[in-house]
Amino acid sequence: MSRLQRFALLTELADQLRAAGSWAGETNLQKAAYFVQELFQIDSNFDFILYRHGPFSFDLRDDLTELRANGLIEFIPMPPYGPRIHPTTASEELRRKFPTTLRRVSPAISFVAAHLGDQNVIKLERLATALYVLKNSEQTADIDQMAARVHEIKPHVSVDKAKSALATVQQLMDQAGVLGEYPHAGRYSKKVEVEAK
């Protein structure tokens, strides 16, 4: 995916998150972009690492800086909270230049916005970390081992909350897997068998 295609994806994602009730700050966008890329195997080329609040991409942060510098997004201050990201009309013009890209990624964006848009950053951190652990665990890892790993990465997340997050992510993976547009959606090597709490 080219830089401008990524810009189109990010501004569309920000708009759809806002429409779904999201605060649409950087953390919301980071976690939603992680789910779009990893759950649906979208080739956005963001390199995510585990950071303070779960998976984080410095590439994505750089793109946000460039989007702002080019007048494609605005950061609206909302004291005492962090700023909200508002795509501008210039971003709408950019998106019109990439109809094929947006048609391809739009179902993934809509799915993620609908399922994560109303989540606060605390829950997003748990869910994104759960997806990271689920994707990167050994084939033999069970729910208890993966929950313990989430807790190890994020000690403030209890093992019970980690299990619940893993179950929620598995449900999202199952739902994503039935979307015909993405043959690899939701397909990971194991299933999490646990009741969500």
Instruction: Examine the pLDDT at 50 and tell me if it is beyond 50.
Output: yes
196 within domain boundaries: no
Encoded tokens for 182: 């993405």
50 within domain boundaries: yes
192 within domain boundaries: no
Count CB-CB contacts under 10 A for residue 90. 14
Q: How far is CA 65 from CA 62, 74, 80, 183, in A?
A: 5, 10, 22, 33
Domain residue limits at 133: 3-177
22 within domain boundaries: yes
Q: How far apart are CA 1 and CA 63, in angstroms?
A: 13
pLDDT at 186: 59
Our count of domains for the chain comes to 1
Chain segment 2-14, per-residue pLDDT in tens: 999 999 999 999 9
Global pTM reads 0.90
The model's confidence at residue 195, banded by pLDDT at 50, 70 and 90, is very low
The model's confidence at residue 38, banded by pLDDT at 50, 70 and 90, is very high
Q: How far apart are CA 174 and CA 122, in angstroms?
A: 23
What is the DSSP-derived secondary structure letter of residue 83?
E
191 within domain boundaries: no
Q: How far apart are CA 48 and CA 108, in angstroms?
A: 18
24 within domain boundaries: yes
186 within domain boundaries: no
Average pLDDT, the chain: 90
Chain segment 98-146, per-residue pLDDT in tens: 999 999 999 999 999 999 999 999 999 999 999 999 888 887 889 999 9
- More confident of the two residues 151 and 79: 151
195 within domain boundaries: no
